[in-house]
Chain A
């Protein structure tokens, strides 16, 4: 190719830079528009919360006394909580058990819980915050007491 041809070629290639940028912008716009109208997502946080709380009460590997829906106070601790449910970094829980004149609090994934808790009132948040109070029976020193458990959970979206 002669010098004139080389200049023409380089000129064409330089012109392609803004063309490619515009092309990428147009493609991204198309994808974004299509995505915003066809985005179908599920919200299963209510069901997950329901299953999680039942697991805490009924699973014999969690707080349940001999597989019954009674909380064994000997099992209501952080070790049991961390082993019976492997939360990883997706879920955080805060449990407050009140019975007789005692109050025991357990928390798993404290940092995640705090983030979700403080973001609970925001319209758009990366976290789902759920809370529930249950009347429960508590087994302590061979006696059964009535109690109240407050369960708060934060689910990462």
Chain B
């Protein structure tokens, strides 16, 4: 092969190498996500918090619940409009959501979606027909 051919071959090999790197990084990220259990924890937390909300709505009287969150779980929680979403910062693709059933007679402070970033606990308080949820943050 002449010099010109060798040069063109080189460009192809660089192209193959770039594709290989992209695929390897993608697969690595996917397998890492499976083995790191983060999506498992997110799924668990989304469902558990949704069940807590349903239970609070079921309560005939006033109720307060302090829901502790492990320090290892650095997640963002979004609560509102019948859905609890749990995700990591900047990782919209790997979020987990679960639904809860709102009570239309109860006022809440969720707005379009209450966002809690890395709370150490979530505090739920229902007094009469008012439900308040806020994050507890440890320094």
Contacts and interface: CB of A to CB of B under 8 A. Distances in A.
A5 B4 CA distance: 9
B129 A61 contact: yes
A34 B105 contact: no
A67 B40 CA distance: 37
Interface stretch (B52-60, B64-72, B84-92, B116-124): B52-60
A55 B58 contact: yes
A83 B54 contact: no
Interface in B14-69: 23, 27, 30-31, 34-35, 40, 43-44, 47, 51, 54-55, 57-61
Interface of B: 4-5, 8, 12, 23, 27, 30-31, 34-35, 40, 43-44, 47, 51, 54-55, 57-61, 82, 99, 101-106, 129
A23 B103 contact: no
Nearest to A64: B60
Contact of B12 (A1, A12, A34, A64): A12
Contact of B31 (A34, A64, A87): A34
A86 B129 contact: no
A90 B54 CA distance: 14
A150 interface: no
B30 A59 contact: no
B99 A88 contact: yes
Contacts of A40: 40, 43
B10 to A, nearest CB: 13
A114 B104 CA distance: 25
Contacts of A23: 23
A29 to B, nearest CB: 12
A139 interface: no
A42 B43 contact: yes
Given A42-B44, A60-B60, A31 B54 contact: no
B57 A59 contact: yes
Interface stretch (A43-51, A98-106, A124-132): A43-51
Interface in A81-127: 82-88, 90-91
Query: Can you list the 8 inter-chain pairs with the closest CB atoms, starting with the nearest?
Result: A55-B58, A67-B60, A61-B105, A86-B102, A83-B104, A85-B101, A51-B54, A38-B34
Contacts of B58: 51, 54-55, 58-59
A25 interface: no
Given A48-B51, A59-B103, 12 more contacts: A8-B8, A12-B12, A27-B23, A38-B35, A42-B44, A55-B58, A55-B101, A68-B60, A84-B103, A84-B105, A86-B101, A91-B101
